[in-house]
């Protein structure tokens, strides 16, 4: 009998002085995540304010043994049960190893690239309220 191994999921939250928002995020995460997951919370502090990029890298370091890594800011959380399965299925169907949630009304699209039947957007400004990537992507980068 060949059993399919469940992917290991890692979730990282970055935060700075917003414990109330973080708690709301964690509550919604528990409510809407259907898979087991490893959690890492990276806190920026007044003593060490090196910023969000360093904290996201901290999450990546602690979650590098996971097959799928999801990074959230402390004001973002999933609202649909099974959200992580949807993203994993999108990876499997598309072959894409990295996704970023960007809202067109906030972030201006700069270019559109067409790869076969897929459209990939690049944006004028960066963002990253919600990012996902695979272990394979992290290893290559």
For the segment 13-59, what is each residue's pLDDT rounded down to a tens digit?
A: 999 989 999 999 999 999 999 999 999 999 988 888 788 889 999 99
Which of 88, 75, 82 lies closest to 132 in space, CA to CA?
A: 88
- Which among 13-17, 62-66, 117-121 has the top mean pLDDT? 62-66
The C-alpha atoms of residue 140 and residue 30 are separated, in whole angstroms, by 30
Looking at residue 64, its pLDDT comes to 97
Is beta strand 130-134 parallel, antiparallel or unpaired with respect to 68-73?
Answer: antiparallel
pLDDT, average across residues 111-123: 62
pLDDT for the residue numbered 141: 81
At 96, list the tokens: 């894409």
CA distance 10 to 128: 17
Tokens of 89: 């299925």
* Prediction pTM value: 0.81
Task: Determine which of 33-37, 39-43, 81-85, 129-133 has the lowest per-residue pLDDT on average.
Answer: 129-133
Confirm if 36 and 87 have CB atoms less than 8 A apart.
Answer: no
Statement: residue 121 has pLDDT above 50: yes
- Range from 55-64, 88-97, 117-126 that averages highest in pLDDT: 55-64
């Amino acid at each position: 009998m060949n059993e399919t191994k469940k992917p290991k999921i890692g979730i990282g939250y970055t935060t700075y002085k917003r414990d109330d928002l973080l708690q709301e995020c964690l509550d919604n995460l528990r409510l809407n995540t259907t898979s087991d997951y490893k959690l890492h919370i990276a806190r920026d502090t007044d003593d060490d304010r090196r910023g969000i990029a360093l904290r996201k890298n901290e999450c990546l370091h602690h979650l590098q043994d996971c097959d799928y890594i999801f990074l959230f800011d402390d004001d973002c959380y999933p609202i649909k049960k099974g959200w992580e399965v949807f993203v994993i299925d999108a990876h499997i169907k598309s072959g894409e190893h990295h996704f970023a949630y960007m809202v067109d009304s906030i972030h201006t699209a700069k270019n559109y690239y067409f790869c076969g039947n897929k459209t990939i957007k690049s944006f004028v400004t960066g963002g990253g309220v919600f990012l996902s990537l695979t272990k394979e992507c992290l290893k290559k980068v």
